[in-house]
Structure 1
Amino acid sequence: MSIVLVGAFMATLDSFIVIVAGPAIQADLGASGGELQWILAGYQLTYAVFLVTGGRLGDMCGRKRMFIAGMTLFTLASVACALSPTAAGLVAARLIEGLGAALMLPQVYAVITVLVGEKDRHRAFGMLGVVIGLASIGGQLVGGLLIGADLFGSGWRSVFWINLPIGLITVLLAARHLPGSRAELPRTLDVPGVVVFSAALFLLAFPLIQGHEAGWPWWTWASLAASTLGFALFVQIERRTGDRGGDPLLRISLFATRSFSVGIVLILAIYAVLTSYYLVLSITLQDGLGMSALGAGLVYAPAAATFFVFSVIASRLVPKRGRRVLEIGAIVLTAGYASTAIVLTGGLPFTPGLIIPTLMLQSAGGGLLITPSLNAVLTRIDPKDAGVASGVLSTAQQVGSALGVAIIGIVFFNSFDPSAHDKTEAAAHALAMSSLFTLIVAIMATVLVCLLPNSPRAATDTK
């Protein structure tokens, strides 16, 4: 558990740690706005596109082997990021880093699903939820601390150098201690399914990442429409492969399990607000208030601590209270976003101290919701489908993040006028509008939680 949780932490952290490093990277490498966006989001693109394939490769070749391969590629790509002399080189290294994460992360979920008994699985997923949540919320804090420390004069490059020692140690420990496992029945790689699914995901993710910077030209909408057709074609291919007795990349029947189908949509909604909100908050603190990367990172510290406490509480309450814990978490999360919007529009001067309590309220709800939601999605999945189902879950996290960044980017940047006389007030207004958007998504998440089975042990999939 300790070994695979390190992998989950690193893969998630690198989606967030670069956010506070963005201004320093742009100044040092002379990156354009588009290049900076690709440095931040290119990682998520390859991450999202290859996650399901990474899960299937784990089923076929062994989860231990693919975890080590993914961690090795991730670590080497991190070194390439740290050494990149140009923005284009950094973008290329980040794309490879995302591929390493895509090979690694599905094995984390699969190892827990396969090797941990049902009695203790909720605790294991609770630990995983704590780790992912802390990496998500604490990523900016870690990034700010590393940049502020300026270790060996490395500046922003330290956010990538830190992966080298951790990655090497994790690979060595995994090689010695991680049990081997793979799908019990022989599995094959569904090449047509891989190609069509990857193409459909790319057609969805690329315009979401690039659309705002490009001004949403016609090709972005054409790409989104083509992705819909691609997913429809993928469903047909998978059904025909299964009907012929083949081994489809994704059994469509998985979505007949209510905890899985509703849970995947819930994960999409949660991560749509999680990544995007902390991105615009970082921009608000640094561009609006003129804070340093370290100062912006420290603003997240109370929220990160709150998330940790309530994640631990959730892992202990879920076995007794079931879905009720998720419902309370969703309501508290919704209240957190609502309170942020209220205080920002209340006429008080915008300072970090004004929003830290509301960020803590958000984190309390997130700790109660995010931690047990992972178990809610995978709790009824057959171990033979653990790798692919885990890949779908991880893909939902990344696609949700891309959707959130795209939509909240429109809301934030259309509301934020950097040339305004009072830049602080302009940033506060833009963050308030973004908080209203996340409030709407949080309300949707609350409804989805109510559609989940009440208890993994007591409820059936059709109820």
Structure 2
Amino acid sequence: MTTTPRTEAATPWSAVSIVLVGAFMALLDSYIVIVAGPAIQADLGASGGELQWILVGYQLTYAVFLVTGGRLGDLYGRKRTFVAGMALFTLASVACALAPAALALIAARLLQGLGAALMLPQVYAVITVLVPEQGRHRAYGVLGAVMGLATVGGQLVGGLLIGADLLGSGWRPVFWINVPIGLVAILLAARLLPESRAPLARRLDLPGVVVLSVALFLLAFPLIQGRQAGWPWWTWACLAAAVPAFALFVLVERRTADPLVRISLFRARPFAVGIPLVATIYALLSSYYLVLSISLQDGLGLPALGAGLVYAPAALTFFVFSMVASRLVPRYGRRVLESGAVVLAIGYALTAAVLLGGLPFTPAAVIPTLMLQSVGGGLLITPSLNAVLARTDPADAGMASGVLSTAQQVGNALGVALIGVVFFHAFDPATAGRAAAAAHGLGMSSVFTFAVATVAAVLVYLLPARKG
């Protein structure tokens, strides 16, 4: 095994800081383009279907190839795979910024998603391999904070760049911003990031790659496209076909000497429970901020930047309590996650009570409950990432990280699909006016996320109870 020994604290933390840049960029580009969507459509003359593909094409290749990206890191080196993913992501960002037409932008976004799929699993793998076990809670706390800032920052940065219209370039700076960051990250990674790979990995399981990619496509594509398409028959056919496809993948992996995913990983309770827990958490995280953004902009008429400022206090709260959780978990263990799950559920319940209780829908009415949600999220989300990988053998770090990253993306797609049904069924401006309709839609969405958060709380109680 070529993993660098864990000797000096400064070396792992410099490496972690570099890969965190990749995590931030990968997540940022999931959100920054949402704000830029109307400007892109107007400038390129994109149809509604083309705009949807500009938004979801990135998410699709991102979700489908995460496990493969993690395994490539095991085989060929996590540093090498991270640098390759960052280079592809940066080049694809240039292609996005220069795209002369909608189809060119769609192709570049697909490549961007592939680059992100190579980068993100290496983040978890580097933390697992390089950071000593007693320091991982803090590393995952920083990672969770970075992800939270990227979630909110995507819309804030997007709103600022679109509003600034730098040199009359319109929406294109939302992609140009990736280029200098990417180049600096590549240079720093080449110099400071130690190389590591799995000692027993010999070759890429191509049958596993093909079968899993098909299975994930059958699952992710209808979830991403279903609501916009009106849930036609083919979306249900794809979802039904995903079940035997995943069963075939398990069969293939059991018969492969060097599998893409070692099924025995799921024999460990932290991993077996943690993967559905992470999927459940991410089913409510990103989807809720999406309907919140719609409610603030379409319901209250706020600009994108104004909407971002509404949940900026929640982002700051999430950052603080992610750091607090990293210090509490080594002492109190699962009780921190239990407390976070309960507070998160209460935050959604109070938001629903405020919005459905007849009070006027204003930013001041929801900011306190959003901050309460972030208290719970900070205590739950970042420790849950460590809970999944805490007992993973470093030799399986890339494999396990790919599965974890995929759970996040599949959970995100599932949450967006389900909350979209709830929100748009309840959002009816024609009968109640836009502000009242948005309050009702967001309130019903809060009821839905309260139910999902309750499921997450149950899963937390199934994790091992030991401390640390």
Superposition TM-score tier, normalisation by shorter sequence: over 0.9
- C-alpha deviation, 1:332, in angstroms: 0.9
Q: Deviations over 1:201-236 (max 9, x none)?
A: 000011111111222111111111111110000000
Per the alignment, do residues 181 and 338 of structure 1 end up closer, same or farther by CA in structure 2, a change over 3 Å counting?
A: same
Cα deviation, 1:404-447, whole Å, max 9, x if unaligned, reads: 11111111112222444611111111111111111110010011
- 2-side partners of 1:284 and 1:25: how far apart? 21
Q: Residues 49-448 of structure 1: matches in 2 within 5 Å?
A: 49-241=64-256, 246-420=257-431, 422-448=433-459
Q: In 2, Cα distance between the equivalents of 1:336 and 1:31?
A: 39
Task: State the 4+ residue runs in structure 1 displaced beyond 6 angstroms.
Answer: none
Alignment match, 2:7: none
TM-score, normalised to structure 1's length?
A: 0.95
1:453 corresponding residue in structure 2: 464
Is the deviation greater in 230-239 or in 134-143? 134-143
Q: How many residues align?
A: 453
Cα distance in 1, alignment partners of residues 278 and 102 from structure 2: 32
Is this contact kept in 2: 1:144–1:298, CA < 8 A? no
C-alpha contact 1:52 1:391 (8 A) present in aligned 2: yes
**Distance of 2:57 and 2:444 partners within structure 1:** 26
Using the alignment, how far apart are the partners of 2:102 and 2:362 within structure 1?
33
One-letter code aligned to 1:297? G
Question: What is the rounded CA distance, in whole Å, between the counterparts of 2:31 and 2:455 in structure 1?
Answer: 24
Contact 1:45-1:205 at 8 Å conserved across structures = yes
Q: Which amino acid aligns with 1:397?
A: Q
Distance 1:31 1:185 in 2: 48
Equivalent-residue separation in structure 2 for 1:27 and 1:421 (angstroms): 30
- 2:28 counterpart residue number: 13
**CA displacement at 1:152 relative to structure 2:** 2.9
AA of the residue aligned to 2:65: F
On the 8 A contact 2:329/2:467 being kept in 1, the answer is no
Call closer, same or farther: CA 1:32–1:412 in 2, change over 3 Å. Answer: farther
Is this contact kept in 2: 1:68–1:175, CA < 8 A?
A: yes
Instruction: Provide, for residues 247-268 of structure 1, a one-character-per-residue CA deviation record: whole Å limited to 9, x for no partner.
Output: 0111111001100011000110
SS of 1:37's partner is: helix
Show the counterpart of 2:39.
24
After superposition, the Cα gap between the structure-2 partners of 1:454 and 1:155, relative to the gap in structure 1 and judged at 3 Å, is farther
- Normalising by structure 2, we get a TM-score of 0.94
Give distance in 2, aligned partners of 1:93 and 1:318.
41
- Residue 461 of structure 1 aligns with which residue? none
Q: Does the CA-based 8 Å contact 1:138-1:300 persist in structure 2?
A: no
Residues 1:293 and 1:85: Cα distance change in structure 2 (over 3 Å):
farther
- Asked if the contact 2:75/2:198 (under 8 Å) is kept, the reply is yes
Amino acid across the alignment from 1:144: G
* Equivalent residues of 1:413, 1:430 under 8 A apart: yes
| SS of 2:382 mapped into structure 1 | helix
Report the Cα distance in structure 2 between the residues aligned to 1:456 and 1:137, rounded to whole angstroms: 31
Q: Distance in 2 between matches of 1:419 and 1:151?
A: 37
How far apart are 1:15 and its partner, in Å? Answer: 1.4
For the residues of structure 1 that align with 2:227 and 2:378, how far apart are their CA atoms? 31
SS at match of 1:377: helix
Q: Distance in 2 between matches of 1:456 and 1:4?
A: 27
Instruction: Measure the CA separation in 2 of the matches of 1:20 and 1:437.
Output: 25
- Which runs of no fewer than 5 residues in structure 2 stay unpaired? 1-15
Once the two structures are TM-superposed, the CA of residue 87 in structure 1 deviates from its matched residue by 2.8
Quickly say closer, same or farther: Cα 1:74–1:264, change in 2 above 3 A: same
- Specify every segment of 5 or more residues in structure 1 that has no aligned partner in the other structure, as ranges: 458-463
Aligned partners of 1:169, 1:141: CA distance in 2, in Å? 23
Contact 2:280 2:411 (C-alpha < 8 Å) held by counterparts: yes
Closer, same or farther: CA 37–362 of 1 in aligned 2, 3 Å: farther
Equivalent residue number for residue 460 of structure 1: none
How much has 1:27 moved relative to structure 2?
A: 3.2
Query: How far apart, CA to CA, are the structure 2 residues paired with 1:328 and 1:138?
Result: 27
Q: CA RMSD in A?
A: 1.4
Report if the CA contact (8 A) 1:20-1:282 is conserved: no
- The 8 Å contact of residues 124 and 401 in structure 2, kept in 1 or not, is answered as yes
Letter in 1 for 2:165: D
1:88-144 residue CA offsets vs partner (Å, 9 max, x unmatched): 322221111110000011111111111111222222222212212221233222222
Structure 1 residue aligned with 2:51 = 36
Contact 1:310 1:368 in 2 (8 A): yes
Paired residue type of 1:341: A
Q: Partners in 1 of 2:280 and 2:170 — Cα distance?
A: 34
Question: How far does residue 375 in structure 1 lie from its aligned partner after superposition?
Answer: 0.5
Give the CA deviation at 1:146: 2.6
Q: Provide, for residues 44-79 of structure 1, a one-character-per-residue CA deviation record: whole Å limited to 9, x for no partner.
A: 111110011001111111111000000010111112
